[in-house]
Amino acid sequence: MASTYSFDVTTGVDLQEVDNAINQAQKESAQRYDFKDAKALTIEFARAEGVIRLHTDHDMRMRALYDIVLSKLIKRGVPVKNLEVGEDVPAGNDTLRREITLKQALDSETAKKVSATLKDAKLKKVQASIQGDQVRVSGSDKDTLQEAMALLRGTDFGVELKFGNYR
């Protein structure tokens, strides 16, 4: 039996589910009456960049388009906490653009907050180490690691945390 146990804390979204949600949003926006005479109406998903781009002709339609995309993402189980919504930017021909960035990994600031939260809780023999875009939590007892998971689930870090490699 192993003398130490560990798990990894990460974050991310399922890109296939985002792609499916965007396809559903495109179909719904094409059939909606309030988008009937829109000059510009596009929803793009740049999978490699992890960015959703919305483009429409005025503010009311932008809000409606964003609501459609958000509702489809929620129905698909995509964590909304991992979305970083940009501001509306004026584009050519009196249109608006908005970019929504998907957070795929823990940034260094969030990883430090996770590590600091575990250290401040003073759980018995639990260590947290930052390894790139994840935090490895290790300890000598499985029960204390379960307590650490419960503590992290109960704390808001601005992203949806995922726990993996529990050994």
CB 133 within 8 A of CB 106: yes
> Rounded CA gap, 142 and 144, in Å?
6
Indicate if the pLDDT at residue 1 is higher than 70.
no
How far is the C-alpha of 90 from the C-alpha of 96, rounded, in Å?
A: 5
- On the question of a common fold for 5-12+106-164 and 15-102, the answer reads yes
Neighbouring CB atoms inside 10 A of 25's CB total: 23
Question: For the segment 40-83, what is each residue's pLDDT rounded down to a tens digit?
Answer: 889 999 999 999 999 998 889 899 999 999 999 999 999 999 99
Give me the CATH topology for the region 5-12+106-164: Alpha-Beta Plaits (3.30.70)
2, pLDDT greater than 70: no
Mind listing the pLDDT tens digit for each residue in 137-160?
Answer: 888 888 888 888 888 988 888 888
Q: What residues does each domain of the chain span?
A: 5-12+106-164, 15-102
Q: What is the mean pLDDT of residues 23-29?
A: 93
For the stretch 73-112, pLDDT in tens is: 999 999 999 999 999 898 888 889 999 999 988 888 888 8
Neighbours of 147 (CB within 10 A): 16
Minimum mean pLDDT range among 19-23, 34-38, 76-80, 81-85 = 34-38
pLDDT, residue 53, reads 94
| CATH superfamily placement of domain 15-102 | YajQ-like, domain 2 (3.30.70.990)
String of b and e for 106-129 (b: at least 16 CB within 10 Å)? beeebbebbbebbeeeebeebebe
